[in-house]
């Protein structure tokens, strides 16, 4: 949803912005919930994306990504703009939007996921028209990419006395052009600055590696130490993953009855020491202070 | 004292060609060149040997599903190139055995395994001539039948430091 997704899990600038606006007192979660409930009266329409939080898409951070809503509706929901309205392509394609090997009503899943997250946050069962809790739970958003089908997860938990957090996790199939970095460690300055046209881990804003023991060099630009960052998405894994030098030949001649084992297709070995790092914002991480400066596509 | 059980491929070969199985085994050990030369002109022998080879392993993973567990494609059994023999086949089974195929739980699903086997003359580890079997199997098609997918996110090596 951002300019690229080199990690399996992403929040990135777009989801950070969405959760920022969803959690603002204005227009407020009760009003957003009402809009999403109303939107279900026209279930095939994606108009709710445009209408529910218009001030979100007008945020100056989207200056360099003016077509983000079109991207969501076309590439996520699989709808085309024809004759002044959004509609499924005719004839219907074998898959939805940009997803590989998957066909489904992503519009309905995303809308219902967000609706249910707001209902949980407000403590309102479906159909309950009450005002909801005066202190609705904070909502946070994540995206995991590379699974067989599309799911929205709404996870609620206590977050201190009388307080809760609602985590929304979109679990999606891979999309066209998707890649994943074998190493979480950034080697270049820009997410899209690599030799290839693919997104890669970068040293851009808010990228941070934690060293064990901790390094004494100051952070540039200055920011709170890792454990004091208000926002962070830390990945803990090997510094690099490699495939075997030689892939097995699945057709090696053999004596009768000595059939080769069925291939695994891909095998990875974690090498290099385990690292702890928070990706840069353009590569799918989060700004340490929660403030998104720019979204690029 | 009971005699040790024959390898499964020998049992299948004997089922298919009961009167010739002994001669074929003799050729396999003593004259693999002649065996392969005969296979090129003898579709029945090619079918029997290729089926014995395929089922020997596939039945460890999948229970046979049909009366004819291995079906051959008409017109695609016989000579391959200048020296070898081969056959195109389909094995029909059920994935009803737990954890023997790549550790998967038994799905109970019917499966069809498509393959083409080439029989040629090769050598064993000590350099003695033996018949060798090269199987070109549609593993991706089998995996799809079991509901398995490829992860369509291409893993990329790190960029050079820059």
Peptide bond between residue A213 and the one before it cis (omega within 30 degrees of 0): yes
Using alpha carbons only, give the angle B33, B37, B38 rounded to the nearest 5 degrees: 120
What pLDDT, in 10s, does the model give residues B1-20?
456 788 999 999 999 999 99
Question: Would an 8 Å CB–CB cutoff place B124 in contact with chain A?
Answer: yes
- A183–B149 CB contact, under 8 Å: no
- Contact residues, chain B, for A181 at CB < 8 Å: 155-156, 158
Tokens standing for residue A39: 């939107």
- B52–A256 CB contact, under 8 Å: yes
So what's the pLDDT on residue A261?
Answer: 84
Chain A 54-93, CB below 8 Å of chain B: which residues? none
Closest alpha carbon within chain A to B12? A257
Cβ atoms within 10 Å, residue A107 = 25
Would you state the torsion angle of the CA atoms of residues B6, B10, B15, B18, taken in this order, to the nearest 10 degrees? -100
Q: Within 13 Å, how many C-alpha atoms sit on residue B14's CB side?
A: 7
Closest alpha carbon within chain A to B102? A262
| Strand arrangement of the beta sheet that strand A151-158 belongs to | A9-10, A138-145, A164-172, A151-158
In sequence order, the 6+-apart residues with CB closer than 8 A to the CB of A115 are: A33, A36, A37, A40
Q: Give SS3 for A162.
A: coil
- A178–B159 CB contact, under 8 Å: no
Distance from CA of B137 to the nearest CA of A (A): 8
User: Measured between alpha carbons, how far apart are the two ends of chain B, in Å?
Assistant: 73
- B137–A182 CB contact, under 8 Å: no
Q: How far is CA A72 from CA A30, A80, A188, B70, in A?
A: 24, 11, 28, 49
Tokens standing for residue A100: 């590989």
Secondary structure percentages of chain A, helix, strand, coil, to 5: 20, 20, 60
- A182–B157 CB contact, under 8 Å: yes
- The model's pTM is 0.91
- A253–B8 CB contact, under 8 Å: no
- A256–B53 CB contact, under 8 Å: yes
So what's the pLDDT on residue A194?
Answer: 58
So what's the pLDDT on residue B143?
Answer: 96
- B152–A145 CB contact, under 8 Å: no
Task: Say how many residues make up chain B.
Answer: 162
Chain A 197-256, CB below 8 Å of chain B: which residues? 198, 200-201, 240-241, 243, 250-256
So what's the pLDDT on residue B6?
Answer: 86
What pLDDT, in 10s, does the model give residues A48-65?
999 999 999 999 999 888
ipTM for the complex shown? 0.92
Question: Would an 8 Å CB–CB cutoff place B9 in contact with chain A?
Answer: yes
**Which of B57, B150, B159 lies closest to A265 in CB terms?**
B150
Q: Give SS3 for B79.
A: strand
What pLDDT, in 10s, does the model give residues A214-251?
887 777 778 899 999 999 999 999 999 999 988 888 99
Region A12-30: what's the mean pLDDT?
94
So what's the pLDDT on residue B85?
Answer: 98
Q: Using 50 as the pLDDT threshold, list the residues of chain B that sit under it.
A: 1
Q: Give SS3 for A153.
A: strand
Checking DSSP bridges between strand A164-172 and strand A138-145, what pairing results, if any? parallel
Region A83-89: what's the mean pLDDT?
92
Task: Return the HEC string of A246-259.
Answer: CCCCCCCCECCCCC
Q: E strands along A88-131, which residues?
A: none
């Amino acid at each position: 949803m951002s300019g690229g997704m080199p990690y399996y899990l992403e929040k990135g600038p777009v989801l950070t912005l969405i959760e920022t606006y969803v959690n603002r007192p204005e227009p407020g979660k009760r009003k957003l919930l009402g809009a999403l409930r109303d939107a279900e009266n026209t279930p095939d329409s994606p108009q709710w994306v445009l209408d529910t939080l218009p001030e979100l898409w007008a945020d100056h951070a989207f200056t360099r990504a003016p077509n983000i809503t079109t991207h969501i509706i076309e590439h996520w929901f699989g709808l085309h703009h024809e004759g002044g309205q959004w509609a499924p392509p005719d004839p219907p394609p074998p898959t939805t939007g940009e997803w590989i090997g998957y066909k489904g009503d992503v519009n309905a899943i995303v809308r219902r996921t967000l609706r249910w997250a707001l209902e949980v946050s407000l403590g309102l069962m479906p159909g309950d028209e009450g005002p909801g809790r005066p202190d609705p739970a904070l909502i946070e958003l994540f995206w995991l990419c590379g699974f067989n089908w599309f799911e929205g997860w709404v996870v609620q938990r206590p977050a201190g006395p009388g307080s809760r957090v609602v985590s929304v996790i979109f679990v999606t199939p891979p999309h066209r052009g998707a890649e994943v970095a074998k190493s979480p460690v950034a080697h270049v300055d820009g997410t899209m600055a690599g030799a290839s046209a693919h997104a890669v881990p970068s040293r851009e804003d808010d990228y941070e590696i934690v060293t064990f023991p901790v390094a004494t060099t100051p952070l540039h630009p200055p920011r709170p130490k890792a454990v004091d960052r208000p926002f962070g998405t830390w990945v803990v894994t090997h510094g690099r993953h490699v495939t075997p030098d030689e892939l097995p030949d699945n057709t090696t001649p053999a004596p009768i009855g000595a059939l080769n084992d069925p291939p695994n297709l891909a095998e990875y070995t974690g090498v290099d020491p385990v690292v702890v790092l928070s990706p840069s914002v353009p590569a799918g991480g989060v700004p340490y202070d929660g403030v998104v400066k720019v979204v690029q596509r | 004292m009971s005699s040790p059980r024959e390898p499964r491929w020998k049992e299948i070969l004997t089922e298919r060609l009961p009167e010739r199985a002994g001669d074929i085994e003799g050729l396999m050990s003593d004259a693999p060149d002649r065996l392969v030369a005969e296979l090129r002109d003898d579709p029945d022998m090619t079918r029997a040997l290729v089926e014995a080879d395929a089922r020997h392993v596939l039945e460890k993973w999948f229970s046979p599903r049909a009366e004819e567990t291995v079906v051959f494609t008409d017109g695609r059994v016989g000579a391959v190139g200048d020296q070898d023999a081969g056959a195109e086949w389909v094995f029909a089974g059920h994935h009803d055995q737990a954890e023997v195929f790549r550790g998967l739980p038994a799905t109970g699903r019917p499966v069809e395994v498509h393959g083409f086997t080439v029989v040629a003359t090769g050598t064993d580890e000590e350099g003695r001539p033996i018949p060798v079997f090269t199987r070109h199997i549609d593993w991706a098609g089998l995996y799809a039948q079991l509901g398995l997918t490829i992860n369509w996110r291409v893993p990329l090596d790190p960029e050079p430091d820059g």
